[in-house]
Amino acid sequence: MKLLLDIGNSEIKAAISDNKGVIIHSIKRIRYDKNKIGSALETLYSDYSDKKFDAAGISVVDSKLKAPLSDFISDKFCRKIVFADIELNCGLNFRYEKTLGTDRVAAVISAYFNYGNFENILIVDFGTATTYSMLTGDTFIGGLITPGIYLSYDALINNTALPHVELKAKYNILNSRTEDAIRSGILLSAKKSFEGIVDEYEKQYYGMTVIATGGGSALMKKISDRITISDDNLVLKGVLQILNYYE
């Protein structure tokens, strides 16, 4: 078995692949604080302590976490560890400096190997940041980084006296309650930003496929019809592809 980790800015997403390296299962989500990642890793160990892994594949957005992750994984799970990186490109071309986030690298690789029958693919990851990654053929040609849905919400609530609300998929342009005004404003702002950016890409890449992933993708899918494919495990699949390719 192989251990797969997608470690974002605020959440660890973990999964297992079978012995053939093709099936992802036993998916776990663990919220974490970067300053207290040790407790999150201990939770991960308690969830998977009965498993025997041959190798681990990891995407981690904060490179400073690589050392403690390596130490923990090699001590608790397995010695063989492959970190997603722009240098491990599985034969694809990346027109980007080496600072490209490993989650975006994994997502692009995953999109190519799982949905490569589409010529032009825009990958939108609705995470802490919402990232746009354009893949045409076998070449990643760049993209955008914008504030995420929940980051925008947190910034608004944490810097005002406004109340917390649930971001359910319902909005109006006229609201008579503060809670509804907040919810509608956040959702409509995110929707219009997303659809406006997609429009800009479509001016150059007509008929492109939009693949959505990340924690906010399910919410966006409910309020926008511009998503072609939703794949919540896109990054994990990319991590597995990298692990299989370079193992």
Q: What per-residue confidence (pLDDT) applies to 79?
A: 95
Residue 4, pLDDT above cutoff 80: yes
What whole-number distance in Å separates Cα of residue 220 and Cα of residue 213? 10
**Reduced 3-state DSSP string for the chain:** CEEEEEECCCEEEEEEECCCCCCEEEEEEEECCHHHHHHHHHHHHHHHCCCCCCEEEEEECCHHHHHHHHHHHHHHCCCCEEECCCCCCCCCEECCCCCCCHHHHHHHHHHHHHHCCCCEEEEEEECCEEEEEEEECCEEEEEEEEECHHHHHHHHHHCCCCCCCCCCCCCCCCCCCHHHHHHHHHHHHHHHHHHHHHHHHHHHCCCCEEEEECCCHHHHHHHCCCCCEECCCHHHHHHHHHHHHHC
pLDDT digits (tens, 9 = 90+) for 127-180: 999 999 999 999 999 999 999 999 999 999 999 999 999 999 999 999 999 999
Mean pLDDT value across residues 56-76: 95
Residue 143: count other Cβ atoms within 10 Å of its Cβ.
Answer: 20
Average pLDDT, the chain: 95
Q: What per-residue confidence (pLDDT) applies to 207?
A: 87
Cβ proximity of 102 and 61 under 8 Å: yes
pLDDT band at 106 (very low <50, low <70, confident <90, very high): very high
- Residue at token pair 């990186």: 85
What whole-number distance in Å separates Cα of residue 93 and Cα of residue 86? 9
pLDDT band at 205 (very low <50, low <70, confident <90, very high): very high
Q: Facing residues of 48 across strands?
A: none
pLDDT digits (tens, 9 = 90+) for 16-64: 998 777 788 889 999 998 888 999 999 999 999 999 999 999 999 999 9
Q: How far apart are the first and last CA of the chain?
A: 13
pTM summary value: 0.95
Q: What per-residue confidence (pLDDT) applies to 35?
A: 83
Q: What per-residue confidence (pLDDT) applies to 235?
A: 97
Residue 154 has which token pair?
A: 């947190």
Residue 202, pLDDT above cutoff 90: yes
Mean pLDDT value across residues 91-96: 97
